[in-house]
Chains A and B, each alone.
Chain A
Amino acid sequence: MKFDMANPVWGFVGTLISFLGFFVTIVMLFKTKKIAQAAKDAVVKTQNEVQKNVLLTDISTCIGLVQEIKAFIQSKRHDATILRMEDLNSKLIQLRHIREFNSESSQKEFQSIVSQLYIIRQNFEEMMGEKNILVDEEKTLGALLRISDRLNDWIGRYKYEVSEE
């Protein structure tokens, strides 16, 4: 068949090819969008997992600090006790701003730890300033144990969430 622009068959074929091209473009566009979204999701997931691992490491560091504080108290190294308590307090202040701890209940849990630490620290500072003030070692160790129990609960909570994903 001779190519004749005036022939309506060629017009029809041209239109058909245009529609096909348009359809292929649309399909490709959706495919690309899907791939881009999947890549974005993967990045976000990795980012979350890294963040959670950092969080778990930070909480573990806090538990380590509580253990050190307990050891310093038992060996009567009061200056080291105060220093470690300040380290722990700083670490907790940083942790408090993490997205995972945004809820009201988490903030209350934090405030509870921070206030107990303040009271223990203040008690040691007063004792070092005035010799007639005594620290109830048993009660103090009990309070620290409750703090480390709570931190261990957090580890359990977030570790479980990571493995679930």
Chain B
Amino acid sequence: MTPEQKDILLKLKDKTKQGKAAWKETSVDNKFVLDLEKYSISMQLYSGTALPQLYFEIINPKGKRIESFFAKQEDFGEDDIQSFFKLVRRRVLRVDEALKDILHELDSEDVVGGDGLTEPRHDSINF
């Protein structure tokens, strides 16, 4: 990894942790993209190997990859590489928002589930 790549990686990490990087979902699982004004940076998790790695690609305005590099745990400092990826995933898929909504619905006194048209059965189910 070159010093510039490492610099980009650390700045990306900081911006993401501060919630100031709008990563987006892509058509590929475990791959997210960050669109800047002229360039995009894609990030994919490779977890199949013994040590998980993040694969970064820089895409130019013409839709061509101009640079790519792998980031290993040692390039990442004290943060865990997989936790970082999970953080991005949670933000992109709005997981926390979804969990909050689910909890809010479950906490209410109303009947949950169903289609709102058919009456739910009131007899209790013994486990």
Contact = CB atoms under 8 A, between A and B. Distances in A.
Interface size classification for chain A: 20 to 34
Contacts of A136: 27-29
B39 interface: yes
A91 to B, nearest CB: 11
B62 A112 contact: no
Contacts, number: 68
B27 A93 contact: no
Nearest to A120: B27
A114 interface: yes
Chain B interface mostly? loop
A116 interface: yes
A52 interface: no
A66 B40 CA distance: 21
Nearest to A97: B61
Interface string A84-108: 0000010011001000000010011
Contacts of A61: none
Given A119-B28, A136-B29, A142-B27, A108 B62 contact: no
Interface of B: 24, 26-29, 31, 33, 35-40, 42, 59, 61-65
